A and B are shown apart, each in its own frame.
Chain A
Amino acid sequence: MSAVCVLTPLVIGSWPVVSAAVAGALASMGFSVATRTGEPIIRTRNRIEETIDNSEVLEEHMSRGEMVTAEKGDVRVEVGRDERGTCKVCVSGEGYTDGQLRKVAREISARIVQQYTYHKVVSELKSRRFTVAGEQVAADGTIKLHIRRVGR
């Protein structure tokens, strides 16, 4: 017997968990990644800010102003938590239009959600005696997992 569900992920977690997904997402997109604490460096006029829908970064285990930063070519990215606790993605790049930067910010946001969901699904199911029997990434970037119960 079988059933099919379509789900919209919620990204709710402590900063160490969320920032690991952020770093993984940015690295997979070819960015060089670092973490830092303090005031945002991105202050140029060419700056776009996006928040990740359905996200909440819990304040515990997070220093004030802590963020993940990344660079690729002329594009600079900062990912942190806004005042309401939502995960925030800032992208800047001299010579880029707002539209181009927003496209980059949305791609990064979507990749963060994908990475967070992947790690949450795998870790939660492993703790319930399931195992990943197969895993592949399709040409369009979809992660396909085949998960089975271990023994009885």
Chain B
Amino acid sequence: MDQPEFQIEIRPDGQVKVLVKGVSGQQCMSYADLLADIIGKETSRERTAEYYEQDAAVRIQAHQKRK
């Protein structure tokens, strides 16, 4: 079950860093888009190592099902 969670840091100089976690790849990007819409201009976006690890696990499962 997806449980979206956000860790948001609002720095005193105004910059904001957001970590989106707990949701699958496409949804994760949708939540990142939502936060960008709420807050303002997006300077950068990175998928974390966790993102790729879990994405790879999904691909392996899908590959095994196809066999």
* Chain A positions 1 through 40: 1 when the CB is less than 8 Å from some CB of chain B, otherwise 0: 1111111111000000000000000000000000000000
Contact (A3, B32) CB under 8 Å given A54-B41, A117-B10, A149-B3: yes
Question: B8, A144: Cβ atoms under 8 Å?
Answer: yes
Residues on A with C-beta less than 8 A from B45 are: 3-6
Question: A120, B6: Cβ atoms under 8 Å?
Answer: no
Which single member of B11, B24, B35 contacts A5 (CB below 8 Å)? B35
A72 at the interface (CB under 8 A from B): no
How many chain A residues have a CB neighbour from B under 8 Å?
A: 35
Question: A124, B42: Cβ atoms under 8 Å?
Answer: no
Contact (A141, B12) CB under 8 Å given A1-B51, A2-B19: yes
Question: A7, B36: Cβ atoms under 8 Å?
Answer: yes
Which single member of B1, B28, B38, B40 contacts A3 (CB below 8 Å)? B28
| Shortest beta-carbon distance from A27 to chain B in Å | 16
- C-alpha gap A146/B20 in the complex (Å): 10
Residues on A with C-beta less than 8 A from B14 are: 8-9, 110, 113-114, 117
Closest-by-CB residue of B relative to A109 is: B14
Question: B39, A9: Cβ atoms under 8 Å?
Answer: yes
A88 at the interface (CB under 8 A from B): no
Question: A145, B7: Cβ atoms under 8 Å?
Answer: yes
| Shortest beta-carbon distance from B20 to chain A in Å | 5
Enumerate chain A interface residues (CB-CB to B < 8 A).
1-10, 54, 110-111, 113-114, 117-118, 120-121, 124-125, 128, 130, 133, 140-149, 152
Additional A-B contact list (6), CB under 8 Å, known A1-B28, A7-B36, A145-B9: A5-B42, A6-B43, A7-B17, A7-B39, A110-B13, A146-B7
